[in-house]
Structure 1
Amino acid sequence: MLDVRRMQVLRAVVTSGSVTGAAALLGYTPSAVSQQIAALEKEARTELLERAGRGVRPTAAGLLLTGYADTIGRQVAEAETALADLLAGRTGRLAVRYFATAGACLVAPAVARLRAGHPGVRIDLKLVDPEDPLPDVREGRADLALVVGPRTAPGVRLLHLLDDPYLAVLPEGHPLAAPGPLRLADLAGEPWVGSEWPGPCLDAQLAACESAGFRPRFAVESEDYVTAQGFVAAGLGVTLIPRLGLAHGTRPGVAVRELRAPQPVRSLYAAVRETAPPQPALDAFIEALRAAAGDPEG
């Protein structure tokens, strides 16, 4: 097998035209250069240099290997540049898992911010609602996932982004739709329209209702914010929708009210792998998510 370092020594000899010139260029002794060339000729099983006056010139085999040494040198330089760009966060690839409302209000502005400052970073986005994305993070298939928590998962670290309060959504003209905040207990006797899949978001609603002294009676299950608003507008019940779920407007026929005593809240987190090596691009994306979380309605 040909030694790449010895091929670079050969390239220096051919470029300078002599062993002495190559030694000066490389910082070696002429004897060391000659030894490297002799070892490479043994590996190549042919002569690579021949005398030419007071210097040397490459044989056909020597010229061939010098050309490959040039190519290898350029590739190594390109690899060093690419590695430096990656380590500095100028390039890279991030796999991100997200759910719908986080995508519209957090992920979209964060991606735009990252692209503005790090145009060489590629972001692969995948909508996973209502799937649990934490296994993808833990097993390295995703660099980051947006989740509702808090929760525990081996090998995963959660970074808090924001607390997203739930708002009451009622039919227009409902006696409780008058301006002003509502107590959650005021909705105890109402038929409810489900707006969440089973999981931490629904758990946040049910826990708040329990602390208010009741369990909601679901008349309709929709598991979707837009559909839930449609059922509410039709007068089939009331529902709770997080503020981010209403950030881009409500449909006609509904009224939205703040809740008090208590106010259900879901907490949004960025999940990353605990043992992941440092990634400047990932750090920049987390910073962009936090900036978006500071102004979630854009």
Structure 2
Amino acid sequence: MLDLRRMQVLRAVVTSGSVTAAAAHLGYTPSAVSQQVAALEKEAGIALLERVGRGVRPTAAGRLLTERTAVISQNIAEAETALADLRAGRTGRLTISYFTSVGPTLVAPALARLRREHPDVQTDLRLIDPEEPLAGVEQGDADLAIVVRPRNAGRQGIHLVHLLDDAYVAALPAGHPLAAQRVLDLADLAGEPWIGSEPPGPCLDVMLEACAAAGFSPNFVARSEDYATALGFVAAGLGVGLVPRLGAAGRRTGVALRRVRRPEPVRTIHAAVREGTLTQPALRTLLHALEQATR
């Protein structure tokens, strides 16, 4: 295998025209330069220089290696520049997993700030798998995931940053008798037909556990995995339900939203990243922007 350092010594000899001049340029002795070239010739298995008067000139093999060394040196310089840009957060790519209800309120403003501060960092947005929310970050397929804190959140190598607590509110048809109250006990909804608004996963678990604590299990007469559809069912008078405040931000007419208590279901929203990645400037900016968006 050819030694790159010796190839660079050869290039200095060829460009300067003599061993002595190359030695002065490199800060070596002429003897050391000659030894490096001789070792490279042994590696190459062919003569690389020939004497011309008091100087030297490259053989065909010497010219070939000198040209290739220039290309390699240029590639190395470009790689070093690219690495410096990546370390400084000027370039790169961030893959972000999120769920829909945090898109408008958290993800959009955070990405706007990221673009202002790191305009050359590309982003790849993906909807999260609610049943395996940490898998993408854990396996390296995502740099950051916005998750509802899962039961197995203490996985080794995963760092969670708390963003906000998102309380659930009761969604009632506008003419429902309970809509006259400002605050409802969760048990007040026990005998009602229910509209499901969550897919299987930690968000649904928060709802069901709160209902169990209130002493009942919801009677679901319709299910939807998005809040707009669920609120549409509620507005049509098909039943009542629970939606998180973030999910109810763009609620439709015909729906009354009321605070619930005893207990108040709350989903805790976190940003999940791999431990050790917080040194990346662009990722740090994104986290700070998400925290700012929650305020």
Q: Secondary structure at the match of 1:140?
A: coil
CA contact (8 A) 2:179 2:258 kept: yes
Question: Structure 1 pair 182/289, CA: closer, same or farther in 2 (3 Å)?
Answer: same
Q: Which residue identity does 2:152 align to in structure 1?
A: T
Distance in 1 separating the partners of 2:54 and 2:278:
54
Shift of 1:65: 1.4
How do 1:256-275 residues align onto structure 2 when only pairs under 5 Å count? 256-274=257-275
Shift of 1:229: 0.8
1:29 maps to 2:44: no
Aligned partner of 1:168 in structure 2 is 170
Structure 2 residue 62 is the aligned partner of structure 1 residue 62 = yes
Secondary structure at 1:164 match in 2? strand
- Contact 2:130 2:202 (8 Å CA) reproduced: no
Q: How does 1:9-158 map to 2 (within 5 A)?
A: 9-153=9-153, 154-155=155-156, 156-158=158-160
**What SS class does the counterpart of residue 246 from structure 2 fall into?**
helix
Deviation of the 1:267 alpha carbon: 0.6
Q: What's the CA shift for 1:131? A: 4.0
Deviations 1:117-139 (A, max 9, x none): 11222222211344423223222
Q: Distance in 1 between matches of 2:30 and 2:254?
A: 90
SS where residue 57 of structure 2 aligns?
Answer: strand
Whichever residue aligns with residue 14 of structure 1, its letter is: V
Which consecutive residues of structure 1, in runs of 5 or more, have no partner in the other structure?
A: none
Which SS does the other structure have where 2:141 is aligned?
coil
1:184 alignment partner in structure 2: 186
Q: Secondary structure at the match of 1:245?
A: coil
Cα deviations across residues 214-260 of structure 1 (Å, max 9, x unaligned)? 3333232223211111111111111111111122x112211222233
Q: What is the alpha-carbon root mean square deviation over aligned residues?
A: 2.2
Aligned residues: 293
Helix, strand or coil for the counterpart of 2:116? helix
The Cα of 1:51 is off from its aligned counterpart by: 2.7
Q: Distance in 2 between matches of 1:208 and 1:271?
A: 25
* C-alpha displacement of 1:9: 0.4
* Counterpart residue type for residue 293 of structure 2: A
C-alpha contact 1:195 1:224 (8 A) present in aligned 2: yes
Instruction: Provide the rounded CA distance (Å) in 1 between the counterparts of 2:285 and 2:277.
Output: 15
Task: Determine the structure 2 residue equivalent to 1:221.
Answer: 223
1:51 corresponds to which letter in structure 2? R
Distance 1:159 1:150, change over 3 A: farther
- Secondary structure at 2:217's aligned position in 1? coil
Aligned residue for 2:247, secondary structure, equals: helix
Give TM-score, length-normalised by structure 1: 0.89
Moved more, 196-205 or 51-60: 51-60
| Structure 1 position 279, deviation (Å) | 3.4
**CA gap 1:104/1:129 in 2 versus in 1, 3 angstroms:** farther
Whether the 8 Å CA contact 1:100–1:129 is kept in 2: the answer is no
Give CA deviations for 1:89-138 in whole Å, capped at 9, x if unaligned. 22222222221112332222222221221122222221134442322322
Deviates more, 1:149-158 or 1:13-22: 149-158
Corresponding residue of 2:232: 230
Report percent identity of matched pairs. 67
Aligned partners of 1:285 and 1:259: how far apart in 2?
Answer: 33
Q: Contact 2:131–2:201 at 8 Å: present in 1 too?
A: no
Partner of 2:242: 240
Q: Which deviates more from structure 2 when the two are superposed, residues 60-69 or residues 45-54?
A: 45-54
CA distance in 2, matches of 1:47, 1:277: 52
